[in-house]
């Protein structure tokens, strides 16, 4: 995912290793449940294969009692997952994003790609039609210079060919442009002059532009920029953020009503009732018909303008409300996910122990395959639930816990089968079943 941002940046090995270290921390909350699932399947499968579970049951020790010590271990890992997700993971996610952003910004000349507007340098937008393999020769260049906003509305440079290079101290990015034009739209203090849209066009054979890259050396980006993202927050911070966002959401309808009152003045009257309008609609229509055509047209034009304004205000309020809901859902998902991942350690242990006792096969063969398939099922259900919650198809709580709600009955069913020595998933029982069928078929052929 990030190889394009890392190659060719001249980064120190320690920076890359630090980045991978913080990235690897994000896999820990998934690693614990997967390890408990596969480990319990292998362990109980090995015990079942060597008939040690049978010996334990014959000694009067039930499967539930024998599972209790490892269940306590899984609870410990569940608490460890919760602590890691709530305290360590927000910090590692923040540091990873901080370092990655600093890496992406280092040597921006290498990040300028063909056909894409580059906006990482403050005050400039850069569009390159084609870039040669040397990463210096460029063609069909357009540069929007916004650093001269005090003297002009816009300043655009367009050239057929050019070269770009970074100074040895990496403080400036130099563009040498050839055979191009400079378009500069003039700013006027007089409003009447602004309507003329005056601009100045200058042709040049060679033009040199220096962009300051003082902020583009490798330096850790300000953490405040990312601290408010859901993955960078603990549960306490998530709860505070959700309360703040929900309070802001309640103000959106009030703001929409306030804006409507500036357009429809009758809404300022608190005693106004909409049903009263129909009582006098014929009188209003009669009065309008008696007016002169010009005045009547002005009334209808003003009514149409007010209607369009109300419609746009309604669209704006609806868009803000929808965006606010989606943002709140993301914070709820991050909050509930910390608990769901912790509980998944216990859930997948129960599934793995039950399946191992039923399969009665140890080693890294069949148990590993069954464990990975079951974990993939859990992961797909968990991801699908979050996606549906983000689209407001289901609630954030249901989306986060959907995988648990579906697989918990499966875990209880498998536990019941394991306690009662079921041969539901035992390959040996199926082999014996088919072996019993083979002699009968041979006997039938002889007759």
Which pLDDT tens digit goes with each residue over 4-53?
A: 656 655 667 788 888 888 888 888 888 999 999 999 988 888 888 888 88
Per-residue pLDDT reduced to its tens digit, 211-240: 877 555 444 455 666 788 888 888 999 999
Q: Residue 286 has what pLDDT?
A: 64
Specify the pLDDT at position 218. 45
Name the nearest CA neighbour of 173 among 129, 146, 128, 136.
Answer: 136
pLDDT digits (tens, 9 = 90+) for 115-131: 888 877 777 888 888 88
In sequence order, which residues have a C-beta less than 8 Å from that of residue 131 and are 6 or more positions away?
112, 113, 114, 137, 138, 139
Q: Which of 207-216, 241-250, 266-275 has the lowest mean pLDDT?
A: 266-275
Arithmetic mean of pLDDT over the chain? 79
Percent of the chain exceeding pLDDT 70 equals 75
Residue 384 pLDDT exceeds 90: yes
pLDDT at 267 over 70: no
The C-alpha atoms of residue 206 and residue 157 are separated, in whole angstroms, by 12
For residue 402, is pLDDT > 60? yes
Residue range 328-374, pLDDT digits in tens: 999 999 999 999 999 999 999 999 888 888 887 777 777 788 888 88
What is residue 133's predicted lDDT score, i.e. its pLDDT?
Answer: 76
H helices within 84-123, ranges in order?
89-105
pLDDT band with cut points at 50, 70 and 90 for residue 404: very high
Which is nearest to 33 in space by CA: 340, 336, 335?
A: 340
- Residues 84 and 34: their CA atoms lie apart, in Å, by 16
Q: Provide DSSP, 147-165.
A: TTTTTEEEEEEEEEEEEEE
pLDDT of residue 5: 57
Name the percent of the chain lying above pLDDT 90: 19
Q: What is the pLDDT averaged over residues 261-277?
A: 57
Per-residue pLDDT of 131-155, as tens digits, reads: 887 777 888 988 888 776 554 456 8
Ramachandran category for residue 107: left, alpha or beta (phi over 0 → left; psi -120 to 50 → alpha): left
Identify the three-state secondary structure at position 140: strand
Tell whether the model's pLDDT for residue 172 goes beyond 60.
Answer: yes
- Residue with the bigger pLDDT between 421 and 219: it is 421
Better pLDDT: 185 or 63:
63
The CA–CA distances, whole Å, from 395 to 234, 386, 389, 400 equal 21, 9, 6, 9
The pLDDT, as a whole number, for residue 443 is 47
Give the model's confidence band at 54: pLDDT under 50 very low, under 70 low, under 90 confident, else very high. Answer: confident
* Long-range Cβ contact pairs of 61-70 (< 8 A, separation 24 or more): 62/419, 63/357, 63/418, 63/419, 64/419, 67/353, 70/40, 70/43, 70/349, 70/353
Distance separating alpha carbons of residues 296 and 232, to the nearest angstrom: 60
Q: Is residue 174 within 8 Å of 210, Cβ to Cβ?
A: yes
Mean local confidence (pLDDT), 375-399: 91
Given the structure tokens 């596969």, which residue do they identify? 38
Record the tokens describing residue 145, joined without a space: 């210079």
Q: Indicate if the pLDDT at residue 405 is higher than 90.
A: yes
Residue 197, number of CB atoms within 10 A of its CB: 9
Residues 6+ apart with CB under 8 A from 153: 185, 186, 187
Residues pairing with 157 in the sheet: 143, 182
- pLDDT of 180 > 50? The answer is yes
Residue 17: its pLDDT value, please?
85
Q: Would you state the pLDDT for residue 61?
A: 84
């Amino acid at each position: 995912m990030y190889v394009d941002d890392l190659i060719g940046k001249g980064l120190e090995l320690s920076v890359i290793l630090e980045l991978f270290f913080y990235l690897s921390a994000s896999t820990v909350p998934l690693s614990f449940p997967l390890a408990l699932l596969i480990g319990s399947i292998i362990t109980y499968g090995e015990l079942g294969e060597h008939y040690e579970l049978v010996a334990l049951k014959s000694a009067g020790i039930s499967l539930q009692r024998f599972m209790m010590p490892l269940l306590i271990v899984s609870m410990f890992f569940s608490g460890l997952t919760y602590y890691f997700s709530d305290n360590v993971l927000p910090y590692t996610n923040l540091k990873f994003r901080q370092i990655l952003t600093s890496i992406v910004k280092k040597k921006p000349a290498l990040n300028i790609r063909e056909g894409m507007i580059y906006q990482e340098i403050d005050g400039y937008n850069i569009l390159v039609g084609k870039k040669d393999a040397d990463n210096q020769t460029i063609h069909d260049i357009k540069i929007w210079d916004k650093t001269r906003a005090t003297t002009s509305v816009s300043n655009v440079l367009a050239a057929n060919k050019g070269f770009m290079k970074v100074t040895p101290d990496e403080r400036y990015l130099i563009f040498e442009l050839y055979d191009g034009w400079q378009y500069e739209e003039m700013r006027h203090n007089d409003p009447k002059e602004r309507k003329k849209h005056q601009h100045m066009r200058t042709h040049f054979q060679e033009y040199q532009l220096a962009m300051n890259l003082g902020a583009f050396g490798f330096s850790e980006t300000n953490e405040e920029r990312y601290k408010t993202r859901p993955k960078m927050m603990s549960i306490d911070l998530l709860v505070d953020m959700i309360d703040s966002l929900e309070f802001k959401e309640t103000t959106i309808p009030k703001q929409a009503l306030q804006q409507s009152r500036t357009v429809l003045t009758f809404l300022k009257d608190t005693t106004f009732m909409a049903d009263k309008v129909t009582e006098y609609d014929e009188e209003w229509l009669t009065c309008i018909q008696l007016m002169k055509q010009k005045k009547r047209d002005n009334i209808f034009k003003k009514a149409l303008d007010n209607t369009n304004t109300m419609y746009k205000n309604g669209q704006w309020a609806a868009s803000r409300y929808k965006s606010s809901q989606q943002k709140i859902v993301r914070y709820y998902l991050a909050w509930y996910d910390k608990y769901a991942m912790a509980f998944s350690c216990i859930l997948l242990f129960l599934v793995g122990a039950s399946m191992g006792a039923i399969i009665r096969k140890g080693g890294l063969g069949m148990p590993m395959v069954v464990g990975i398939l079951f974990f993939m099922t859990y992961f797909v259900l968990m991801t699908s639930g979050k996606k549906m919650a983000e689209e407001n198809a289901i609630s954030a709580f249901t989306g986060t816990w959907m995988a648990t709600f579906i697989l918990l009955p499966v875990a209880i069913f498998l536990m019941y089968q394991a306690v009662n020595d079921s041969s539901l998933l035992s390959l040996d029982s199926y082999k014996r079943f088919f072996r019993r069928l083979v002699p009968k078929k041979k006997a039938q052929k002889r007759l």
